[in-house]
C-alpha cells in the first residue's frame, strides 16, 4: 500500500511537469492550429539556460556549498532567468520561422515546425556537445512528511507548488486580463480579431513567449528531479506532454492539465509494475487510441470541417 501511494505521489509530481509543457502545446495549437514540434526543444534550451544561470551566478550544489538549508532564493532566481530566456527563444522562433509562413498551407507550417525542432536539437549538439551535463542541486531533497507510510519529499512539494502557482496564474491571465481576452479572440478567428483592432501578430508572439516560459519552468523543475541536461532531453517529455494535451483535448487549457496528470500516473504505474522498457511506447499507444476513438480528447469540442 505504501509503495502504491508512493507511486501515486511520483505520478502526480511527474504529471505536473508534463502539465506545464502540455500547456505550451495547447496554447499555441489554440491560436495557430499548429503542433509546435519545437516546443520540447525549447524545454531543452531552457534547461541549458538554467545551467548557464547557475554557472554565471556561481551556484553549486547546496550541500557542498555548506548551506544548511536549501537555497530557495537561488532556485527562484534561476527559475526566473530560465523562464525569461525561454520566452525570448520562443518569441524568436515564432518571429523567424513561423511568421513568414502565415497564411500558407498548414502542411508547410508543420514541416517547418519539424525542421525547427531538428535544428534546435542538432544545433545544441553542435554548440553544447552531445554528452550530458549535471545540474547543480539547488534544493536539498529530504522527506518533508509521510502519508500512510509513503514519503512526500521537499522536492515533490516544490514541484507541485510551483506548477500549481503557474497554472493558477495562467488561468487568471487567460480568463481575466485584456491580453488573455485578446488571445481567446484570436484563437476563434484571426480575421475577426484583426477587424476588432486586436494586434494579431503581437498576441501570437506573446502566446509563444508565455508557452515557452511555462516549458522553462517545467525544465527547471525537471532538472531538480532528474539532474541531467543533454541536447535530446526535450524529445521524450515533449512528445509525452503533447500526448497529454491531445488526451485532454488540444486547445483546452484545463484539459491539458487533466491529460498530463492521467499520463504521469499511468506512466509511473506502468514502470512500477513490470513493463518499464515499454514505458515510452505507452504514450504513443495511448495517443493512437485517443485519436482513433475520440480525436477531440476528453474535454475538447469537435469541429466539423467544411469546404
Partner 1 sequence: MRGPAVSNGVALGLLAAVSLAAWGIDAALPPYLGALFLLIGINAILAVSLNLVNGVAGQFSLGHAGFMALGAYTAAWLSTGPLAALFNTGPLEAQAGLACTVCAGALVAGLAGWLVGLPSLRLKGDYLAIVTLGFGEIIRVGLLNSEALGGARGFIGIPPAGGAAWIFGLLALACLACHRVMESSSGRALLSVRENETAAEALGVDTTRCKVGAFAASAAWAGVAGALFAHQESFIYPGSFDFMKSVEIVVMVVLGGMGSMSGALLAAAILTALPEALRPLKELTGVDLRMVLYSLALVLLMIFRPGGLLGRGELWTGAWARRWIDGKRQGGGT
Q: Which residues are at the interface with partner 1 (CB under 8 A)? A: 34-35, 97, 100-101, 104-112, 114-119, 121-123, 125-126, 242, 246, 277-278, 280-281, 284-285, 287-288, 291-292, 295, 305-307
Give whichever of 176 and 306 is closer to partner 1, judged by the CB atom.
306
Nearest Cα residue to 202 out of 188, 186, 214: 186
Give whichever of 109 and 200 is closer to partner 1, judged by the CB atom.
109
Assigned C-alpha cell, 138: 539547488
- Please state the closest distance from residue 284 (CB atom) to partner 1, in A: 4
Phi then psi dihedrals of residue 4, to 5 deg: -60, -45
- Please state the closest distance from residue 24 (CB atom) to partner 1, in A: 15
d(CA 298, CA 236): 22
Give whichever of 105 and 197 is closer to partner 1, judged by the CB atom.
105
Q: Which helix (H) or strand (E) holds 133?
A: strand 133-134
Strand partners, 229: 133
- Please state the closest distance from residue 123 (CB atom) to partner 1, in A: 6
Give whichever of 23 and 167 is closer to partner 1, judged by the CB atom.
23
Q: Could you tell me the maximum CA-CA distance found in the chain, to the nearest angstrom?
A: 67
Strand partners, 153: 143
- Please state the closest distance from residue 41 (CB atom) to partner 1, in A: 11
Give whichever of 199 and 285 is closer to partner 1, judged by the CB atom.
285
Give whichever of 148 and 307 is closer to partner 1, judged by the CB atom.
307
d(CA 9, CA 6): 5
- Please state the closest distance from residue 307 (CB atom) to partner 1, in A: 5
Contacts of 199 (CB under 8 A, 6+ apart): 182
Residues 255, 306: contact at Cβ < 8 Å?
no
- Please state the closest distance from residue 188 (CB atom) to partner 1, in A: 19
Helix (H, G, I), strand (E, B) or coil at 68: coil
- Please state the closest distance from residue 23 (CB atom) to partner 1, in A: 18
Q: Which helix (H) or strand (E) holds 143?
A: strand 143-147
Q: How many CB atoms lie within 10 A of CB 304?
A: 4
Residues listed for the chain: 307
Residues 152, 146: contact at Cβ < 8 Å?
yes
Give whichever of 191 and 280 is closer to partner 1, judged by the CB atom.
280
Amino acid at each position: 500500500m505504501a509503495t502504491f501511494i508512493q507511486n501515486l505521489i511520483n505520478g502526480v509530481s511527474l504529471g505536473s511537469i508534463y502539465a506545464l509543457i502540455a500547456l505550451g502545446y495547447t496554447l499555441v495549437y489554440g491560436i495557430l492550429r499548429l503542433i509546435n514540434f519545437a516546443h520540447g526543444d525549447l524545454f531543452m534550451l531552457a534547461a541549458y539556460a538554467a545551467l548557464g544561470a547557475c554557472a554565471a551566478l556561481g551556484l553549486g550544489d547546496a550541500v557542498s556549498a555548506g548551506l544548511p538549508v536549501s537555497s530557495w532564493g537561488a532556485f527562484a532566481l534561476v527559475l526566473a532567468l530560465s523562464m525569461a530566456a525561454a520566452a525570448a527563444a520562443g518569441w524568436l522562433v515564432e518571429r523567424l520561422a513561423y511568421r513568414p509562413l502565415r497564411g500558407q498551407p498548414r502542411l508547410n507550417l508543420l514541416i517547418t515546425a519539424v525542421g525547427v525542432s531538428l535544428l534546435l536539437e542538432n544545433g545544441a549538439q553542435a554548440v553544447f556537445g552531445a554528452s550530458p551535463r549535471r545540474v547543480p542541486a539547488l534544493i536539498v531533497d529530504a522527506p518533508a512528511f509521510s502519508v500512510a507510510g509513503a514519503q512526500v519529499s521537499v522536492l515533490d512539494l516544490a514541484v507541485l507548488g510551483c506548477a500549481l502557482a503557474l497554472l493558477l496564474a495562467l488561468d487568471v491571465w487567460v480568463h481575466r486580463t485584456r491580453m488573455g481576452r485578446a488571445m481567446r479572440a484570436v484563437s476563434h478567428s484571426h480575421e475577426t480579431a484583426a477587424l476588432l483592432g486586436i494586434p494579431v501578430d503581437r498576441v501570437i508572439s506573446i502566446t509563444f513567449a508565455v508557452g515557452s516560459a511555462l516549458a522553462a519552468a517545467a525544465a527547471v523543475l525537471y532538472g531538480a528531479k532528474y539532474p541531467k541536461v543533454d541536447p535530446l532531453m526535450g524529445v521524450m517529455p515533449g512528445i509525452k506532454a503533447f500526448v497529454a494535451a491531445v488526451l485532454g483535448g488540444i486547445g483546452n487549457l484545463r484539459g491539458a492539465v487533466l491529460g498530463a496528470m492521467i499520463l504521469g500516473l499511468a506512466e509511473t504505474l506502468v514502470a512500477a509494475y513490470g513493463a518499464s522498457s515499454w514505458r515510452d511506447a505507452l504514450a504513443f499507444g495511448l495517443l493512437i487510441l485517443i485519436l482513433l476513438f475520440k480525436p477531440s480528447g476528453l474535454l475538447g469540442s469537435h469541429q466539423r470541417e467544411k469546404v
